[in-house]
Structure 1
Amino acid sequence: MNYDVILNANDSATLETQYAFTQGDYGQIQFSIRVKADGQYVTNAQRAFIVFSLSNGMIVTGADMPKSVATYTYVFQGNELQSPGKVVADVKLVYANGQISSNKFTFMCRFDPLADKSVPAAPYITLLQQIVDEGQEKINYLQALIDSIQGGIGSTTITRNDLQNTRNPVSAGTKAIDAQMAQYLLLKSDLVNNALATTAGVAPLDAAMGKTLQDQITNANSNLTVTQIDIAQYKNAAVVSTTSNCFARSDKYKVIIDIGLALISQSLSADNITIFTLPANIRPNLPVYFTLTATDSSISVNCSIKSDGSIVVSKTPSTAKYLSGQAIFFIGK
């Protein structure tokens, strides 16, 4: 989604935009930025980039922006939205003579709880798979030694030179394992087929446990899968005329309703008006209460989400207003 930003190089004030984004929106949001100087768009800058000042004090410097005539484009990469709150974006234009101009604007970053709970499980899968692979490798190694010994019994006499007292790899059928190595060998009874051990170095994990662990990881990953839908399609068009960034994000257990902007322009000063109706799969079991706030901060209205999916404002504004807000509730058992 594209957002236009027009900056004035002759104005030292920071441009306060009404744009608001949510953590996790990276790769989806693009700024189209133009800078005016003395009434004309700047086209002679050699390069341009943005320095983001986050609400937690962190500084994020973006890559150089591509330019088309006088328009610079920037797509969020992720770090820009790591901290909820107001973000100050400082657009730097660099000229051939070394001059650097600074032109600032702001936007809001909204908190998304799912962004912190949807971390991929890949590192855990890698570690568990490594344990399983190492156990299987040792079993295969011992079986090869046993097969080589059994194959030679009764046909060839084994001498001391045929014995091997190390774990160094050799060609199949050329060496037998020394009895002194028996203290280091794994027996089937040494394997553990559960995930209850708490002391390191006691026993290896049975390869059969790998499937159990993998099934648990697969199930956990499926529970963390997040589905996002645009709820603008479910608005009450008789009341809500315009929407922007209105989404429902859900996993197996919870739903986040994020109303970025909703213009309430009809049924003004009316009580208990439905503005959206959610689809059946993301409706709460019990009513959920939250607040919508006008983008100009002039009013806040109480809202509720009913078990039938209707999002109801207790009283609509007296004049047309853009409202925004967020609700979180649990679903399922």
Structure 2
Amino acid sequence: MKELIILLLENTWYTFLLILSRKLSVWNMGNSTLVTEFYLEVFAETWELRILLSVLFLLVYLGSLLGNIIIIIVTTVDLTLNTPMYFFLRNLSILDMCYISITVPSTCVNSLTDHRNISVAGCAAQIFLFLFCACVEILFLTIMAQDRYVAICKPLLYPVIMNHQFCVQMTLASLLSSLILATVHTFKTFQLSFCHSNVIPQFFCDLPALLRLSCSDTFNNKLLILLSDIGLSGSCFVFIAISYVRILSTVLKIPIKGERGKAFSTCVPHIVVVSVFLSSAAYVYLRPPVETFEVIQEMIISVFYTMVPPFLNPIIYSLRNKQIKEAVRKVTLQVFSHI
């Protein structure tokens, strides 16, 4: 009887260990990345078209760097531009240089060399940096809308509301909240298994394109994207829209036509950048999964939220701003006078 009980206990313990090992095996397979690298898509298979697109992207990249560098130098050197508006504009220029550098240089190199593979760690880093910069971008644009609203609608309170301490605090809050959001998205994404395919239908590691490769349940990831878009992008868009509606109602009451034109020339370019950035990003991030023949269309649309805002920002804020143009002229004369 004793031997029978011992034998029964041994069999029960063996069965428990066997079941536990199988459970752990399944759990490990479900939470491990089965691919070691990914392959990025290209815009075109023909060599001629790839060269043309690479040159075009490179020109956009160099133009963006040049414009943003000019704004950074001018707003730093010229003490007359030491205002909250140009404080945020300088920060936005620094951000845009980082933002466009995450995707465009690697895209040009990959297109010219046909070197399309990217490691899992490199893909994770690109997604994290891209999401971080994109979140900071929309937050900076929202703060700049607040700045224009206070300057136009409450000019007497402008020095009190938009003081230096408030500007620094808002900048740090934008960076911290974007860091948390990008970290959560990246961590949740690379907890998934990628075993269906390792070809990302995009010219860079973008979150929606990567989720389509997962053989895990991506419901929580998609829900997180939806909540982030509604909570961050949606609330920022509503705030920006309300700010510009109030600005518009105030500007229409100005009897002097010149002042109306000046206010509109300041606000309209801002609206254009925000609209292009948010609408194109929302189209890619919130739409249902696309078919294979729509991949090129999605890649083209993604250009509007990866390259267009960093390229347009220095143009609309420098070419349409008399203070910036005057400051550029003064800095240029100072440089040539010391040569």
**TM-score, normalising length from structure 1?**
0.24
If each structure's strand is expressed as a fraction of its own residues, which one has the higher value?
1
Higher-Rg structure is 1
Q: Which has the higher helix share?
A: 2
TM-score (norm 2): 0.23
